[in-house]
């Protein structure tokens, strides 16, 4: 592949301006159908409401911790809309909204952050790997899974989510290289939300854009306005198709912004100005999409109202389901270490049993 | 005497070291303007500038590798791994380079550097934030491994670690960060490094603990005292170098020993301690050396961690199994049996 084909656009791909008006569409990408954009809007509304609910649950002590993705909804939702049910997703701790949007049970999704178990959903059934905390380690797993699908003759694609900070880890670079050499059907989706906890992008990388990290490995790459759902979806559609049709891996960098602190436990005032956050309010992905869809006659006040109503219902259910202590069986601690517990584990189980009897 | 938390004491140690020695550099993830996720480096960038205390790109192998090069170049890096499990990407650098450079170069090069690692659990942290990883480092020749249990020790052990000619893995029990203690103004340099502390004297049995389980041992000793049992508590302070002398003299006196660690027990530091005690105190022992540890499981999710963590009750159960009712042992201890 020639260098020109691999290189990202010099400026982020965009379909919709911040004020919601359409800009001349960039070449090489198709505008997603209206019905998918509407579905994107509905899921963004639910996703944002879910995210707010989850943050509220930390205050009530119902979640141990919650990393919000407020402001990143266009990425969260487009990331899953671009996938088929038989495709795989390798998410991070920040991607709970994407998982809920993919249809996973919200309580199962929140099990990790609630502290009930390390992963609450069934990865095999949902084709969603456990949310990954050790940064960038999931990207090479995604390559392995993509290679597995190829070997089995399935035409599934794997999408790995990763943050801007995570792209500095060695594992990310090994994953890019492996994916390219193996021509693995994998899409690396970088949500560049400008911060890795407190560390701003400028201290993270001197690359012109993170999307340029693909070229050195021979990976086709693109950068996109991450707060423009139309653009993110269009680019991810192209990336997924590229991977699915044997073109090999694809790297997409979405420029977005983490509106909330790193988690509820973080104090963002220590490292960024309020004004900076306020400036990003103007780039809100949800308001932008709503204006765009309304102006094109795809959305009206009733539909907007219905979306918010559905979101309220969803949040109410989450609130209710989370309003109880999770079930906790201490003996389960010994159950999943190996397929069969070792004699030592059985001994330790007995010790715990005797302690609990006292 | 002033009172401070362990976190404040560590912060003060870093500040004083930066002040006293220009070669000292502090770096890692979020240690700059944020002051570290536990605020151990709070205010250091402000006071000493970005040249001396700075945020690195996000890559632990990179942080340690950079420190190796800087130390080779004459600096004294004091670096932070954000959490125990996030030091694993750096393990190759640590095991293959940090631990071995002196040996490989016949002492022509050395690596005076400190790798600070908040470790262990008890704070309701989710997975990968609560590992007890001390055994990996203690098992690696060439690394010193230190873990304070009090604010005062935290200050002086960190100062000693920074001054040490060899690499030190400085393991900070994160659940003790906020526990307060007296810090002395008197200079205690080199008083604790490599020396265990007898925190409580007793005649009936020795509890050996380190880091997060030291308060557990003290609590157990307190409770045992109410039952008329007099337990001695030894805080190792440094795992490597190991203070055989203090541990051995305590166990020879009491004749009984329980080793307490939060880490999973199998092949852990406690096993090493038990073996050493048994090798050196065999004729003084009235009962087998017992270990009280976490289970051999991945660190549990927050709602179950209390089932896993060794607490005073688990320690007292072990103490009860030290064969106090065995006549011959008592006679033996009294010097009446041959
Ligand atoms: C290997 C590793 N090192 C450190 C951490 C601690 N940590 C958790 S999130 C985070 C910042 C990640 O930033 P980024 O990749 O930009 O993702 P974001 O949180 O912004 O979504 C850090 C340093 C970790 N989880 N894993
Ligand atoms: Mg980020």
Interchain CB distance below 8 Å, A355 and B58? no
Supply the range of the domain harboring residue B275: 197-333
Q: Both B97 and B6 in a single domain?
A: yes
Cβ under 8 Å to B: A residues 152-181: 165-166, 168-171
Mean pLDDT of chain B: 95
Of B183, B213, B232, at which residue does a domain stop? Answer: B183
Q: Both B202 and B306 in a single domain?
A: yes
Tell me which residue of A199, A180, A106 sits closest to A139, measured CA to CA. A180
As a whole number, mean pLDDT of residues B123-132 equals 97
Interchain CB distance below 8 Å, B295 and A199? no
pLDDT band at residue B56 using 50, 70 and 90 as cut-offs: very high
Q: Both B176 and B202 in a single domain?
A: no
Q: Which residues contact B66 (CB under 8 A, 6 or more apart)?
A: B27, B56, B77
Which CATH number covers residue B139?
Answer: 3.40.50.970
Q: What pLDDT score was predicted for residue B99?
A: 98
Q: What pLDDT score was predicted for residue B250?
A: 98
Q: Both B138 and B80 in a single domain?
A: yes
Residues of B belonging to the active site: 129
Task: Tell me the HSE value of B242 on the side-chain side, using a 13 A CA sphere.
Answer: 17
On the question of pLDDT at B337 being above 50, the answer is no
Segment B168-181, tens digit of pLDDT: 999 999 999 999 98
Q: Both B151 and B228 in a single domain?
A: no
Under 8 Å between Cβ of B58 and A166: yes
Lowest-confidence pick of A268-277, B31-40, B45-54, B179-188: B179-188
What does DSSP say about strands A250-255 and A186-192: parallel, antiparallel, or unpaired?
A: parallel
Tell me, in angstroms, the distance from the centre of ligand 2 to residue A131's CA: 16
Sheet holding A158-163, edge to edge: A88-90, A158-163, A186-192, A250-255, A220-225
Query: CB-CB: which of B34, B59, B298 is closest to A168?
Result: B59
Of B161, B183, B205, at which residue does a domain stop? Answer: B183
Residue at token pair 């693995």? A184
Where chain A has pLDDT below 70, the residues are 1
Q: Both B35 and B136 in a single domain?
A: yes
For residue B29, the ligand 1 atom closest to its alpha carbon is 23
Q: What pLDDT score was predicted for residue B328?
A: 46
Q: Both B11 and B47 in a single domain?
A: yes
Give the residue extent of every domain in chain A. 3-327, 329-358
Residue at token pair 């170049």? B73
For residue A192, the ligand 1 atom closest to its alpha carbon is 16
A65–chain B Cβ distance below 8 A for any pair: yes
Is residue B274 a part of any domain in this protein? yes
What does DSSP say about strands B197-200 and B231-235: parallel, antiparallel, or unpaired?
A: antiparallel
Under 8 Å between Cβ of B83 and B40: no
Is residue B228 a part of any domain in this protein? yes
Of B155, B183, B211, at which residue does a domain stop? Answer: B183
Task: Tell me the HSE value of B94 on the side-chain side, using a 13 A CA sphere.
Answer: 28
Q: Both B125 and B250 in a single domain?
A: no
Q: Both B156 and B23 in a single domain?
A: yes
Tell me, in angstroms, the distance from the centre of ligand 2 to residue A196's CA: 4
Which helix H or strand E contains B210, and what residues bound it? none
Is residue B202 a part of any domain in this protein? yes
Q: Both B121 and B202 in a single domain?
A: no
pTM of the model: 0.96
**Residue A130: CB atoms within 10 Å:** 16
The C-alpha of B193 sits at a distance from chain A's nearest C-alpha, in angstroms, of: 33
Under 8 Å between Cβ of B221 and B233: yes
Total number of domains in chain B: 2
Is residue B332 in contact with ligand 1, taking CB distance under 6 Å? Answer: no
Is residue B190 a part of any domain in this protein? no
Interface of B with A (CB under 8 A): 29-30, 32-35, 37, 55, 57-62, 85-86, 88-89, 124-129, 266, 295-298, 300-304, 307-308, 313-314, 317
What residue spans of chain A are helical by DSSP H? Answer: 3-6, 34-59, 73-81, 96-101, 106-114, 123-126, 137-151, 170-182, 201-204, 229-244, 274-281, 285-295, 301-321, 343-357
**Residue B21: CB atoms within 10 Å:** 13
Which helix H or strand E contains B62, and what residues bound it? helix B60-72
Task: Return the CATH number of A3-327, one of 2.40.50.100, 3.40.50.2300, 3.40.50.2000, 3.40.50.970.
Answer: 3.40.50.970
- The tokens for A51 are 């995210």
**Residue A95: CB atoms within 10 Å:** 29
Residue at token pair 């302070």? B237
A182 burial (CB, 10 Å; 0-12 / 13-18 / 19+) is middle
Lowest-confidence pick of A279-283, B59-63, B184-188: B184-188
As a whole number, mean pLDDT of residues B114-135 equals 98
Q: Both B256 and B140 in a single domain?
A: no
Segment B289-327, tens digit of pLDDT: 999 999 999 999 999 999 999 999 999 999 999 999 854
Q: What pLDDT score was predicted for residue B325?
A: 82
Alpha-carbon gap, residue B155 to B13, rounded angstroms: 5
Indicate the top mutation candidate among A67, A96, A188, A196 to test ligand 1's pocket, ranked by most ligand atoms within 8 A of CB. A196
With H, G, I as helix, E, B as strand and everything else as coil, classify residue B79: strand
Which CATH number covers residue B234?
Answer: 3.40.50.920
Segment B302-311, tens digit of pLDDT: 999 999 999 9
- The tokens for A255 are 């420029």
Q: What pLDDT score was predicted for residue B226?
A: 96
Specify whether the backbone of A22 is left (phi greater than 0), alpha (psi in -120 to 50) or beta: beta
Q: Both B159 and B206 in a single domain?
A: no
Query: CB-CB: which of A64, A166, A342 is closest to B58?
Result: A166
Total count of residues recorded for chain A: 358
């Amino acid at each position: 592949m020639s260098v020109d084909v691999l290189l990202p656009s010099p400026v982020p791909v965009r379909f919709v301006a911040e004020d919601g008006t359409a800009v001349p569409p960039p070449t090489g990408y198709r505008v997603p159908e209206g019905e998918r954009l509407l579905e994107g809007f509905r899921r963004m509304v639910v996703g944002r409401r879910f995210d707010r609910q989850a943050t509220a649950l930390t205050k009530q002590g119902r979640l141990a911790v919650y990393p919000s993705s407020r402001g990143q909804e266009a990425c969260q939702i487009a990331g899953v809309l671009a996938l088929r049910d038989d495709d795989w997703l390798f998410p991070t701790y920040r991607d709970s909204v994407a998982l809920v949007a993919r249809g996973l049970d919200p309580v199962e999704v929140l099990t990790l952050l609630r502290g009930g178990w390390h992963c609450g959903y069934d990865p095999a059934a949902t084709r969603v790997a456990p949310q990954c905390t050790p940064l960038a380690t999931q990207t090479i797993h995604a390559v392995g899974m993509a290679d597995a699908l190829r070997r089995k003759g399935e035409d599934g694609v794997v999408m790995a989510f990763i943050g801007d900070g995570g792209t500095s880890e060695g594992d990310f670079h090994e994953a890019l290289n492996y994916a390219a050499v193996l021509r693995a059907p994998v899409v690396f989706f970088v949500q560049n939300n400008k911060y890795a906890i407190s560390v701003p992008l400028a201290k993270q990388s001197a690359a012109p854009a993170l999307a340029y990290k693909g070229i050195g490995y021979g990976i086709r790459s693109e950068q996109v306005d991450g707060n423009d759902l139309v653009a993110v979806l269009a680019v991810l559609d192209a990336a997924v198709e590229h991977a699915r049709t044997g073109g090999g891996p694809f790297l997409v960098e979405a420029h977005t912004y983490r509106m909330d602190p790193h988690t509820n436990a973080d104090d963002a005032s220590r490292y960024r100005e309020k004004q900076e956050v306020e400036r990003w309010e103007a780039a809100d992905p949800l308001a932008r999409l709503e204006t765009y869809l309304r102006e094109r006659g795809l959305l009206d006040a009733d539909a907007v109202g219905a979306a918010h109503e559905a979101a309220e219902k969803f949040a109410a259910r989450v609130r209710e389901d989370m309003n109880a202590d999770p079930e906790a069986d201490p003996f389960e601690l010994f159950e999943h270490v190996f397929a069969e517990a070792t004699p030592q584990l059985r001994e330790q189980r007995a010790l715990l049993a005797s302690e609990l009897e006292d | 005497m002033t009172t401070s938390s362990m976190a404040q004491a560590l912060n003060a140690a870093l500040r004083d070291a930066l002040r006293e020695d220009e070669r000292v550099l502090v770096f890692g993830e979020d240690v700059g303007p944020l002051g570290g996720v536990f605020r151990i480096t709070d205010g250091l960038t402000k006071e000493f500038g970005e040249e001396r205390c700075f945020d690195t790109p996000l890559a632990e192998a990179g942080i340690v590798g950079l420190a190796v090069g800087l130390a080779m170049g004459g600096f004294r890096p004091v670096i932070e791994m954000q959490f125990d499990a996030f030091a694993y990407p750096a393990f190759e650098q640590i095991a293959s380079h940090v631990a071995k450079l002196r040996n490989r170069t016949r002492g022509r090069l050395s690596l005076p550097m400190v790798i600070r690692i908040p470790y262990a659990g008890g704070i309701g942290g989710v997975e990968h934030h609560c590992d007890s990883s001390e055994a990996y480092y203690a098992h690696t020749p060439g690394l010193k491994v230190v873990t304070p249990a009090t604010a005062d020790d935290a200050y002086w052990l960190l100062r000693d670690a920074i001054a040490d000619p060899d690499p030190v893995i400085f393991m900070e029990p994160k659940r003790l960060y906020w526990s307060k203690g007296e810090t002395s103004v008197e200079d205690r340099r080199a008083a604790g490094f490599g020396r265990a502390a007898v925190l409580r004297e007793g005649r009936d049995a020795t509890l050996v603990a380190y880091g997060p389980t030291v308060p557990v041992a003290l609590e157990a000793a307190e409770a045992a005292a109410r039952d008329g049992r007099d337990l001695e508590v030894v805080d190792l302070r440094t795992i490597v170098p190991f203070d055989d002398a203090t541990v051995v003299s305590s166990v020879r006196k009491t004749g009984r020993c329980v080793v307490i660690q939060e880490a999973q027990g199998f092949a852990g530091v406690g096993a090493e301690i038990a073996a050493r005690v048994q090798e050196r105190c065999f004729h003084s022992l009235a009962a087998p050396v017992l270990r009280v540890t976490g289970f051999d499981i991945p660190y549990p999710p927050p709602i179950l961690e209390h089932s896993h963590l060794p607490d005073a009750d688990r320690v007292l159960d072990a103490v009860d199994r030290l064969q106090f009712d065995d006549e011959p042992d008592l006679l033996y201890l009294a010097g009446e049996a041959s």
